[in-house]
A and B are shown apart, each in its own frame.
Chain A
Amino acid sequence: GAGVSQSPRYKVAKRGQDVALRCDPISGHVSLFWYQQALGQGPEFLTYFQNEAQLDKSGLPSDRFFAERPEGSVSTLKIQRTQQEDSAVYLCASSLPPTRGDEKLFFGSGTQLSVL
């Protein structure tokens, strides 16, 4: 595709419900990041994939959060037993292989999650 695609664009969940957020990166982009952006805040790192390998998941706030990228392309962020504090915009970004580390990130429009 032309850019990073995220779905759904909006998600309303009842507290305790499980949700799954999808990210379709730009074709050929090896690196994939998930970020959480609370209202009025900057993006907070959640996790990083290089192809199918999850190299860093230090930003996942609890064991209710789980991310996967089984074939090295599409990624899914799953949140189990959602809580109100999980309400935020979840951003996905992809980039070219990290040869030097200066590759810019391409962001999707995000999924706005509201937990009631």
Chain B
Amino acid sequence: AQSVAQPEDQVNVAEGNPLTVKCTYSVSGNPYLFWYVQYPNRGLQFLLKYITGDNLVKGSYGFEAEFNKSQTSFHLKKPSALVSDSALYFCAVRVMNSGGYQKVTFGIGTKLQVIP
């Protein structure tokens, strides 16, 4: 069974500082990894994805994520945090089978608080 772990309920960072939101996964087969962001009273929005290739992927709003196969991690990063980045961040893993069936599993989310 596939699973995603986000070990931190909340991450606090000062504006202008680099931020990291952690994610580890467990899946058999090739994982497709995603980060989504949820602002208050809004639906989840796609940030970035890792499929294959370069382990560092870049996404929306200046975010990037680093895939580490040996550590089964996919941490979200940003060099300089903005107050407007404060939101709930979800890591997700997607698995496809040969029959086209797919399942997307989400972590419990990490609340990012950027302090002015």
Q: Which A residues are closer than 8 A to B by beta carbons?
A: 4, 31, 33, 35, 41-45, 48, 50, 55-56, 91, 93, 98, 100-102, 104-110
Contact = CB atoms under 8 A, between A and B. Distances in A.
Nearest to B99: A55
Contacts of A41: 108-109
Nearest to B110: A42
Contacts, number: 67
A25 to B, nearest CB: 13
A48 B102 contact: yes
Interface stretch (B12-20, B38-46, B76-84): B38-46
A100 B49 CA distance: 13
A55 B34 CA distance: 22
Q: Count chain B CB atoms within 10 A of each CB in A4, A42, A98 and give the residue with the most.
A: A42
